[in-house]
Amino acid sequence: MKVNTAILSRAAVRAFDPSHAISAEQKRELLELARRAPSAWNIQHWRFVLIENDELRQQMRDAVMGQPQVTDCSMFVAIVVDLEAWNRSPARYFDFLPDDYAQAYAAKIQEFYNGREWLARDDAMRSCGLAAQTLMLATTAAGLASCPMDLFDEERVSQLLRLPAGHVVAMFVAIGKALPGSNAPKASRLPYDEVVLIDRFGASA
């Protein structure tokens, strides 16, 4: 499938066939593609938690405002952010470079984020959003459907996933087989001219 086709045919699906299963190999293939997404400084802030246990899925459904996608989809992924990822042996994010370059980049990362936790969080969330979209486009190309989700009880979800300190959920992605008619009507988009600007906002002062 062409990328354009995948972009145009993806839709947030809320009704999945609960009897459909995705093999372990295919789950791995989708996550292998998701982890190719770009990330700020190549930090790869994401940790993908594949939620497989039925009882945990039911508990997660309650924590995600009762949304049925959680239990009905074939693959449910929490994209978790490590907010301290920038400070965890950062030279390894540059292990494809000579060691002295990798060390220099690591020092730059630490200088960049140290004392600017808000920026570390923003960059981590931006990067996880790109991972989520990469995962959803790969899913569409595989003939499957997806739903991005971020309505959840943060405290309960943290408990259920036993998140380590400094980790938060960026969002969830539910993946599976769409039930017929489940992605209609297709969501509209604002007019092109409202969302695309040339050079800057507003007339000159």
Ligand X SMILES: Cc1cc2nc3c(=O)[nH]c(=O)nc-3n(C[C@H](O)[C@H](O)[C@H](O)COP(=O)(O)O)c2cc1C
Q: How far is the CB of 108 from ligand X (least distance, A)?
A: 30
Q: Determine the Cα–Cα distance for residues 140 and 30; give it in Å rounded to an integer.
A: 10
The smaller minimum CB distance to ligand X, of residues 11 and 85, is found at 11
Segment near ligand X (CB under 6 A); pick from 9-17, 21-29, 102-110, 114-122? 9-17
3-state secondary structure (DSSP) of residue 88: coil
Segment near ligand X (CB under 6 A); pick from 29-37, 120-128, 144-152, 194-202? 144-152
Measure Cα distances from 130 to 19, 79, 99, 152, 156 in Å.
29, 11, 28, 20, 25
Considering only 120, 171, 173, 175, the residue that binds ligand X (CB under 6 A) is 171
Contact 97, 105 (CB under 8 A): yes
Measure Cα distances from 22 to 30, 69, 143, 145, 161 in Å.
11, 15, 12, 12, 22
Assess 32 for contact with ligand X (CB under 6 A): no
Assess 190 for contact with ligand X (CB under 6 A): no
Which amino acid is present at 118? W
Q: How far is the CB of 1 from ligand X (least distance, A)?
A: 17
String marking each residue 74-103 x if it binds ligand X according to CB under 6 A? ------------------------------
